[in-house]
Structure 1
Amino acid sequence: MSEFIVFDLEFTSWPGSLEQDWSAPGQLREIVQIGALRLNDDCSVVEEYEALVRPLANPRLSPYFTDLTGITQEDVDQRGRAPAEALGDFLGFCRGLPVLSYGNDMVVLGENVGWARARGDEVKNGFLSATFLNIRPWLNFIVPETADANVGRLWEVLNLPKPAAGREHSALFDCYSFTAALKHLHAMGHWLPTGFL
């Protein structure tokens, strides 16, 4: 039985940062939360992964980010892990498996690994032991009404039951929304791009 990972990231943001592609001075896409699910080939959850990460360039979360995600400064201060530690642990969770995102989260992951290594921090595990793929274009092609939906709203757009407790823009909830969409598409006879799994 094959297994694969779906993952989602929440990263530092400010009003207008998405529209400006984080181009304002000092606005880096520093990961604050990682969520992931290891799934088997029928999209049943085998294992969960979740971590809070302490941003270093912008250690104070913006009110915009907190309103969007529900993650508070206290959450990060008390439970946040050092970036290199959290990134290495997550890459270890992915080791040897296909890893799917709904969007280019692997780019943000790569940025954060690069910054950690530039600081001289060791990031255990690497990208080469997993295969990352953004399947948003495929999913949007199969179900065009999802084109404007973020990952945390896929379940709503597809008129599916709420997949888990929580809310959109919480990385683990977004993974459950993503999984619900994949399971729905599988039931409709659509499966992931040939050769990926």
Structure 2
Amino acid sequence: MSTLVVFDLEFTTWPDALEQDWSAPGQFREIVQIGALRLRSDLSVVEEYEALVRPVMNPRLSPYFTELTGIGQEAVDRDGLPPAEALGEFLSFCEGQSVLSYGNDMVVLGENVGWARARGETVKSGFLEVGFVNVRPWLNAVAPATATVNVGRLWQVLGLPKPGAGGEHSALFDCHSFAAALRHLRGAGALGGAEEALFQGYRQAMAYR
């Protein structure tokens, strides 16, 4: 059965960090939450993945981050996985598939893998068996109303039913919003030939390695 993965990350942030590209001293984009969905060829959900991650360089979450995401310090301290463990689990979940993001979350993922390895930690799975694709430029082009919104609001600007409990800036909810947008565009005929490319892109890319 052909499947692909959509994913979203929540990572440490502070007031104005986005506008300043996390350039202030001590500001690192450490992953705190990972959400992912495995989708069938009709874009229905096969499996979910969700994990909290304990940041290392900034172990205390900023009040700004907690207000934005609803993720509190107590939950991360209690349920958060060590970064290398969470990253390995997620990359294993994605192995051998095309993996779609709404933005360049794969860059943040790569930063976190690099930091874990620099600390001497072992990330059990790697990037070579995963085909990452940022589909935001394409999605914004075929649905211009989405151009100014984050992934957690895609369902809203497209006039779709809310795709489950929770809200934006919760990684798994954002994935469901993303998947709902893809299903909507598929139903409207916007995917066209791109749909096959999404499912086959990883295998085609690997054939040229």
Same fold (TM over 0.5): yes
TM-score (norm 1): 0.98
Instruction: Specify the alignment match of 2:198 in structure 1.
Output: 196
Superposed counterparts of 1:1-20, under 5 Å: 1-20=1-20
1:165 CA drift (Å): 0.4
Give the whole-Å Cα distance in 2 for the aligned partners of 1:151 and 1:128. Answer: 26
Give the whole-Å Cα distance in 1 for the aligned partners of 2:157 and 2:197. Answer: 28
Instruction: Specify the alignment match of 1:29 in structure 2.
Output: 29
Give the residue type in structure 2 aligned to 1:70: G
**Secondary structure, aligned partner of 1:68:** helix
Instruction: Specify the alignment match of 1:103 in structure 2.
Output: 103
* 1:59-102 CA-partner distances (Å, limit 9, x unpaired): 00000000000000001000000000000000000010110000
Give the residue type in structure 2 aligned to 1:116: A
Give the whole-Å Cα distance in 2 for the aligned partners of 1:193 and 1:166. Answer: 28
1:196 CA drift (Å): 3.1
Give the whole-Å Cα distance in 2 for the aligned partners of 1:188 and 1:195. Answer: 17
**Secondary structure, aligned partner of 1:196:** helix
Q: What is the total number of aligned residue pairs between the two structures?
A: 197
Unaligned runs of 5+ in 2: 200-209
Instruction: Specify the alignment match of 1:50 in structure 2.
Output: 50
1:161 CA drift (Å): 0.2
TM-score (norm 2): 0.93
Q: RMSD of the TM alignment (CA)?
A: 0.8
Instruction: Specify the alignment match of 2:72 in structure 1.
Output: 72
Are 1:174 and 2:174 matched, yes or no? yes
1:193 CA drift (Å): 5.8
Unaligned runs of 5+ in 1: none
* 1:142-179 CA-partner distances (Å, limit 9, x unpaired): 01110001000000000000001001000000000000
Superposed counterparts of 1:125-144, under 5 Å: 125-144=125-144
Are 1:151 and 2:170 matched, yes or no? no
Give the residue type in structure 2 aligned to 1:177: S
Percent of pairs identical after alignment? 72
